[in-house]
Amino acid sequence: MSTWSQISFQDGASPLMEQLIFFHDHTLIILLMITILVGYMMTTLFFNKFINQTLVEGQMIEIIWTILPAITLIFIALPSLRLLYLMEEISNPSLTLKTIGHQWYWSYEYSDFMNIEFDSYMIPTNELPMNGFRLLDVDNRIMLPFQTQIRVLVSAADVLHSWAIPALGVKIDATPGRLNQTSIFLNRPGLFFGQCSEICGANHSFMPIVIESISTNTFINWIKLNEI
């Protein structure tokens, strides 16, 4: 069944993604207004029989079409710069997740707890349960509590990868020998899917990411079970 998310963004599940969607809509409205205005002016010029063909310059109109685009760019640039700073902001995290890209799977470590690390492989289609998601589901999901500030450290063991979760507005490169950092804040419980977004080899499209957002109490119980 077709859904709106197939022609637009996924529903935002983090404050950052909600701001990105708002900025997209804000910019789209400005572009639409410019397109309508320019289209109207070109149409009137085509069908106007009283064009002054001897007019070679006009100081006033040149000032107007220089100032108006500058003001328009300011209305686009200021929210864009604000978003760039928000994306780089790292608040005091309550939890740290380390993500390592491999050819062709992801491995995860919960740095705040002892002995909690696992590999996450895509479930092959012939092993997928009836309620599974083809090419998106994994054998070990990332379990994270919602309404919690989480730091994510990303690296790679072999080649360039990219850890991307569209619903959270996160896309960060996994580079061998380098540790990149971002933060996420989950607004609500649910399943959030992502994929490697850097062409990393033959099975690049078969290393999905699944985050399961759960309550803090459920997460603590999961930690206790996996620390044993």
SS3 call for 35: helix
CATH code of the domain containing 79 = 1.10.287.90
Same domain for 113 and 221: yes
Spatial distance between the Cα atoms of 154 and 162, rounded to a whole number of angstroms = 9
Same domain for 210 and 123: yes
Q: Give this prediction's pTM.
A: 0.80
Give domain status of residue 60, yes or no.
Answer: yes
What does the angle CA 75 – CA 79 – CA 82 come to, to the nearest 5 degrees?
145
Same domain for 38 and 140: no
CA atoms lying within 13 Å on the CB side of residue 121 = 6
Strand order in the sheet with 208-214: 142-145, 208-214, 190-196, 161-165, 170-174
Same domain for 212 and 113: yes
Please give the residue range of the domain that contains residue 39. 11-88
155 and 174 in contact (C-beta within 8 Å)? yes
The domain tally of the chain equals: 2
Bridge partners, residue 223, by sequence: none
SS3 call for 186: coil
Spatial distance between the Cα atoms of 114 and 177, rounded to a whole number of angstroms = 24
User: For 225, phi and psi rounded to 5 degrees?
Assistant: -65, -35
DSSP character for 194?
E
Same domain for 67 and 138: no
Same domain for 140 and 214: yes
Same domain for 216 and 109: yes
170 and 152 in contact (C-beta within 8 Å)? yes
Q: What pLDDT tens digit does each residue of the chain (228 aa) get?
A: 456 556 778 888 888 888 999 999 899 999 999 999 889 988 887 777 766 666 667 788 788 888 988 998 898 899 888 888 888 777 788 899 999 999 999 999 998 887 788 999 999 988 888 888 888 999 999 999 998 999 999 999 989 999 999 999 899 999 999 999 998 999 999 999 999 999 988 989 999 999 999 999 999 998 888 775
